[in-house]
């Protein structure tokens, strides 16, 4: 009799294992790289649910990222560029941070969309490193392998139920503790504050984990010639100036002067929940020095309110994460709003300057995987020439695709005469013209006519309001869950 029980138990285990393999194989067949996915099944069996499979996939991907970082560290001498090597080390560190967040997702009450945003960021980081390595002729098998794992995990997570149901939790509103923006420290060049430089004040805030009280730094009027970095461990930092054109942070690093695009930024925000308001951020390298970033943001759930972001080529690097810009002025020439964040610009003024080659491109979005939740949305804004600038003979376009799945949408925005009738321009990437998503919805002004726009398969004159709603604040960057505590005004409707 006991033998019969053992046989039955063995059969149940065998049937369960077979069922788990069937489940896993079915999921793997729907990923972009099925064979690599099935290798995961062999290494981690049995898999009994889609939730478990997702968790195993994220954990394996995290292990792979740690290994890839170690491998890339050892490649240092092959880079021939210490700066590019350091960039990759930084990007791996940020990737590991985002994958750790994803691994802890079931424990820390987050949603599928949170995880998809973090995985999108991880993939963007790896792509940025890959781009720098390719320019130097350096290759890494471990980088290629971990990129495939992240791509597969993005696809697996997309299959899980929305709103966090895969983890049997519900989406909750993220409440960042605050003291009603009570100032913690003051920066003043004349010595009347707690610090004389902004970076000293940021350093004084120390490491601030998620859930920390918002730390408010008031930067008094003045021109601050310094490079500011809000590190990845400095969450919920807020910098308040005395107004655009009054509190000015300025630098002049550029590609033309030997800096990578990634490291050329005057101001870098990496820690999540960053809020900047009433400040000007400049890069004064000028158009002749090529890529010269004023602001780079990798901060998830970051906000910039009443900020002036000024430069020429590559002014605003919305590198990764969910970002909101409200009532900001952005100046530039070539690809001057670029990157692969989920970036939402609302009630902003976008000013084109004189480019060195006679062509302006306002955006260069770099989404390269269809499961990434990234893109640039310009809503209820104004696009025109910068004050005092003559753009006669200059061709200005709304954007060009930096990667195959580039996604940019312009809605309810006034487009002045500077916009070319074609609207958009290609980047020599033929495949992108069918896989990108460029959309325009109910824009106004002399440059808004769509009758002579490009005839690409990926370009859309949006007429369906439900399609347009996919690019509103709540839908596109999950704004309802994190924007209200920042106390910055916003519009949720079209």
In angstroms, the CA 300 to CA 309 distance is: 19
Bin 427: left if φ > 0, else alpha if -120 < ψ < 50, else beta.
alpha
Distance CA(329)–CA(309), nearest Å, equals 6
Helices (H), 276-323: none
Distance CA 133, CA 124 (A): 14
SS3 of residue 473 by DSSP: helix
Residues 6+ apart with CB under 8 A from 127: 147, 340, 366, 368, 403
Residue 383: helix, strand or coil by DSSP?
strand
Alpha-carbon torsion (355, 357, 362, 368), positive or negative? negative
Contact 235, 271 (CB under 8 A): yes
Whether omega for the bond prior to residue 262 falls within 30 degrees of 0, making it cis, is no
Q: How far apart are CA 40 and CA 324, in angstroms?
A: 37
d(CA 294, CA 316): 6
What's phi and psi for 106, nearest 5 deg? -60, -35
For the record, the structure tokens of 31 come out as 């990923």
Match 């980088």 to its residue by tokens: 143
- Asked whether 265 and 293 are in contact (CB, 8 A), the reply is yes
CA distance 426 to 361: 10
- Return all residues near 295 (Cβ < 8 A) that are at least 6 apart: 265, 266, 267, 268, 269, 281, 304, 307, 309, 315, 316, 317
CA distance 393 to 239: 40
Q: Which residues are catalytic?
A: 335
CA torsion angle 18 20 23 29 (round to 10): -80
- 288 phi/psi in degrees, rounded to 5: -75, -10
């Amino acid at each position: 009799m006991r033998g019969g029980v053992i046989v039955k138990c063995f059969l149940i285990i065998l049937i369960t294992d077979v069922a788990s393999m069937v489940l896993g194989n079915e999921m793997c067949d729907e990923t972009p790289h099925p064979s690599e996915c099935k290798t995961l099944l062999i290494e981690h069996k049995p898999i009994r649910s889609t939730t478990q499979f997702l968790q195993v996939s994220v954990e394996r991907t995290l292990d792979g990222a740690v290994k890839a970082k170690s491998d890339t560290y050892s490649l240092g001498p092959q880079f021939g560029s210490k700066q590019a090597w350091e960039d990759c080390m930084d990007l791996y560190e940020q990737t590991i941070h985002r994958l750790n967040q994803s691994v802890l997702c079931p424990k820390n009450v987050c949603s599928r969309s949170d995880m998809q945003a973090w995985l999108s960021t991880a993939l963007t980081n790896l792509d940025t490193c890959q781009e720098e390595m390719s320019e130097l002729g350096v290759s890494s098998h471990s980088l290629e392998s971990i990129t495939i794992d992240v791509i597969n995990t993005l696809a697996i997570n997309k299959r899980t139920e929305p709103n966090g149901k895969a983890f049997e939790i519900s989406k909750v509103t993220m409440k960042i503790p605050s003291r009603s923006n009570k100032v913690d420290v003051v920066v003043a060049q004349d010595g009347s504050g707690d610090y004389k430089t902004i970076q000293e004040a940021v350093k004084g805030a120390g490491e601030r984990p998620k859930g920390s009280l918002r730390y408010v730094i008031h930067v008094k009027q003045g021109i601050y010639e310094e490079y500011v970095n809000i590190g990845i461990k400095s969450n919920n930092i807020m910098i308040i100036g005395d107004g655009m054109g009054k509190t000015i942070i300025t630098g002049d690093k550029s590609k033309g002067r030997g800096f990578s695009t990634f490291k050329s930024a005057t101001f870098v925000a990496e820690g999540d929940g960053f809020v900047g308001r009433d400040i000007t951020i400049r890069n004064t390298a000028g158009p002749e020095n090529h890529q010269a970033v004023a602001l780079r943001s990798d901060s998830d759930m970051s906000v910039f309110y009443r900020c002036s972001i000024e430069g020429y080529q590559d002014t605003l690097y919305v590198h990764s994460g969910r970002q909101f810009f409200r009532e900001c002025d952005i100046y530039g020439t070539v690809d001057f709003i670029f990157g692969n964040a989920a970036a939402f610009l609302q009630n902003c003024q976008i000013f084109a300057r004189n480019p060195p080659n006679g062509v302006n491109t306002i955006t260069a979005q770099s989404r390269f995987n269809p499961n990434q939740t990234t893109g640039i949305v310009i809503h209820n804004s104004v696009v025109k020439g910068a004050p005092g600038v003559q753009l006669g003979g200059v061709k200005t376009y709304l954007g060009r695709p930096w990667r195959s799945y580039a996604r940019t949408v312009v809605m309810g925005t006034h487009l002045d005469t500077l916009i070319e009738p074609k609207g958009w321009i290609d980047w020599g990437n033929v495949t992108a013209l069918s896989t990108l998503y460029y959309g325009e919805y109910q824009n106004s002004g002399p440059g808004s006519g769509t009758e002579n726009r490009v005839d690409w398969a990926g370009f859309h004159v949006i007429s369906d309001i439900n399609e347009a709603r996919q690019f509103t604040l709540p839908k596109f960057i999950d704004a309802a869950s994190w924007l209200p505590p920042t106390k910055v005004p916003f519009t949720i409707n079209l």
